[in-house]
Chain A
């Protein structure tokens, strides 16, 4: 992958953004993973004597309406939200990329069949699929992830297919062929980098959307089930206490905003970074 992109010496303008986004995203991931191994408080342990406490040394962000530590739940919720989003995204990628590759390379009948299947999935909006699935299979994070995968993989399949189709028409593929390269090498070295760039950009932008989706569905009770912590569910839980303890809603809300913003910044950065041409010319 050495030839994927060039050094970013002349792009100082956006560079700090991308680096910042990268660092923050990794930080969030690190915290989420860290929480997995180390928890100061049981996130589901209720303590009705200590409900709705304010900031203290023991509870840095206070406690919620059932006396559970907010910071612990926030971190663990992040782990859940981001973890499930990443899971949904990677399953969508795993299905979508090979699907698009095969359709793009084989063309003809296989392409037509594959794309009609994809169109069929595309006909349903993600919200509808999620609601219907939880209606049939019952609400739960697993079904939500399934619904997201069912809808999201199509865009990757289509993206990969169209990239393969348009790029393999170009003369450089023909030249590589005339130079005696095998088809698999051409795929790997001349076409795949194109695909990786496009897919990474779309994926990082999609990550934000998926996080929002999972939080939104947990908010209306179709995602993570109580007592498991999740940002959207935490928002919903603390709704009745908005007037007395607004920060209970502000914490998970801010967390969602920050993570979605970061993934979008990361997407923009990746888009610029993979645009070799623009970069060198500037």
Chain B
């Protein structure tokens, strides 16, 4: 177990947003967390890195490599964030500070984790860019000069730079077109094989779950309604909500490769 969340509840002053959720992620697996918008998936993922705003109350236990993250000081937490645990978000445009170049992002990130040699930092960055199929020219570009797909690739490179044990990918393809999204996921899967990190993959797209996940959990209104192996859930969904979700998802196999029916066939 790389991460086990035990009975986590997140509540604001008015109401409970995440209610008594437990889940565990094994080493090197692709764990999908599925649910509609507003079900509390993102909050849960941010609670792992303790990045929620202070007006949200978190209760429960988050064991990351057998250490309870809730009991760590903010300084200890900082050494875990980025080094052992990293994030990729949906909004690729907002993920980069607009007035700093891609290279400056890489620089700062490595300096914050104690890599002091300038040459090492530079070679690390270039090889990270290379590993996601990007040219080293991008090093001196500004974020807005890159396309969405390129930016999301840079996010992956940045997130995997210090070989974390767990990568949290929060709807990373939602803002991309389906071709770029597909490429990004293929790349992520390839990088996962190479680095062996576990991925907590937050999504609402069943096609991605079918293709990549090893295990998954379905979330509804702050609670996990069902969890288990991919095939068990996809083939024999127990909960009514899961059945509905699977039925609502676009079918693969028939129609176009994108999962959509060809016009006029229905």
Q: Are B113 and A190 in contact (CB under 8 A)?
A: no
Whole-angstrom distance from the CB of A191 to the nearest CB of chain B? Answer: 9
Q: Are A179 and B109 in contact (CB under 8 A)?
A: yes
- Would you call B79 and A180 a contact (CB within 8 A)? yes
Cβ A175 vs Cβ B89 within 8 A: yes
Measured CB to CB, the closest approach of chain A to B90, in angstroms, equals 8
Q: Is A108 a contact of B81 with CB atoms below 8 Å?
A: no
Contact A172 B99 (CB under 8 A): no
Chain A residues touching B, range: 20 to 34
Asked if A193 contacts B99 (CB within 8 A), the reply is yes
Interface string of B116-143 (1 = CB under 8 A from A): 0000000000000000000000000010
Instruction: Please give the distance in Å from A192's CB to the nearest CB on chain B.
Output: 11
The answer to whether A180 touches B112 (Cβ under 8 A) is: yes
Pair A179/B91 contact, Cβ less than 8 Å: no
Whole-angstrom distance between the alpha carbons of A281 and B79 in the complex? 37
**Inter-chain residue pair count (beta carbon < 8 A):** 79
Interface of A is mostly: helix
Which chain A residues lie closer than 8 Å to B99 at the CB level?
A: 3-5, 193-194, 276
- Are B82 and A179 interface neighbours, CB within 8 A? yes
* Count of chain B residues near A, Cβ 8 A: 33
Q: Are B95 and A276 in contact (CB-based, < 8 A)? A: no
| In the complex with contacts A172-B97, A180-B112, A3-B87 CB distance below 8 A | no
Q: Decide: B104 and A175 in contact? CB cutoff 8 A.
A: no
Instruction: Please indicate the chain A residues that have their CB under 8 angstroms from the CB of B145 in the complex.
Output: 280
Find chain A residues with CB under 8 A from B104 CB: 3
CA gap between A277 and B97 in the complex, in Å: 12
Cross-chain contact A180 with B113 (CB below 8 angstroms): yes
With a cutoff of 8 Å between Cβ atoms, the chain B residues found around residue A185 in the complex are 112
Are the C-beta atoms of A178 and B96 separated by less than 8 Å?
no
A174: which B residues are within 8 A, CB to CB? Answer: 46, 51, 87, 89
Q: Residue A117 at the B interface, CB < 8 A?
A: no
Tell me if A171 and B94 are in contact (CB < 8 A). yes
- A180 proximity list for chain B (CB < 8 A): 78-83, 109, 112-113
List B contacts of A6 (CB < 8 A): 142
**A171 vs B108: C-alpha distance when bound (angstroms):** 16
Q: Is A20 an interface residue (CB 8 A)?
A: no
Report how far A280 CA is from B142 CA in the complex, Å: 9
Contact check, B87 vs A178: say whether CB atoms are below 8 A apart: yes
Q: Is A170 an interface residue (CB 8 A)?
A: yes
Contact with B along A161-189 (1 / 0, CB 8 A): 00000000011101111111110010001
- Contacts A178-B82, A178-B87, A277-B144: A172 and B112 contacting too (C-beta < 8 A)? no
Contacts of A175 in B (CB 8 A): 87, 89, 95-96, 155
Q: When the two chains form the complex, which single residue of A3, A4, A172, A193 contacts B96, counting CB atoms closer than 8 Å?
A: A172
B260 to chain A, nearest CB (A): 30
Complex Cα gap A176–B49 (Å): 12
Indicate which residue in B83, B91, B109, B142 contacts A276 across the interface (CB closer than 8 Å). Answer: B142
Is the pair B144, A179 in contact by a Cβ cutoff of 8 Å? no
Q: Pick the contact of A170: B79, B94, B144, B155 (CB < 8 A).
A: B94
Closest B residue to A182 using CB positions: B78
Instruction: Give the distance in Å from the alpha carbon of A66 to the alpha carbon of B144 in the complex.
Output: 63
Residues of A within 8 A of B86 (CB): 178-179
Q: Is B247 an interface residue (CB 8 A)?
A: no
Q: Which residues on the A side are within 8 Å of B91 (C-beta)?
A: 171
CB-defined contacts of B101 to chain A, threshold 8 Å: 3
| Interface pairs A-B: 10 shortest CB-CB | A180-B82, A171-B94, A179-B82, A178-B87, A180-B81, A170-B94, A172-B97, A179-B109, A180-B78, A171-B95
A interface residues, Cβ below 8 angstroms from B: 3-6, 108, 170-172, 174-182, 185, 189-190, 193-194, 276-277, 280-281
A-B contact pairs, 23 of them (CB 8 A): A3-B100, A3-B104, A5-B99, A172-B97, A175-B95, A175-B155, A177-B49, A178-B82, A178-B85, A178-B86, A178-B87, A179-B81, A179-B109, A180-B78, A180-B81, A180-B109, A180-B112, A181-B109, A189-B97, A193-B99, A277-B144, A280-B145, A281-B144
Q: List chain B positions with a Cβ less than 8 A from chain A.
A: 46, 49, 51, 55, 78-83, 85-87, 89, 91, 94-101, 104, 108-109, 112-113, 142, 144-145, 155, 158
Known: A175-B95, A280-B142. 18 other contacts (CB 8 A): A4-B99, A171-B89, A171-B94, A172-B96, A176-B97, A177-B51, A179-B81, A179-B86, A179-B158, A180-B82, A180-B109, A181-B108, A182-B78, A194-B99, A276-B98, A277-B98, A280-B144, A280-B145
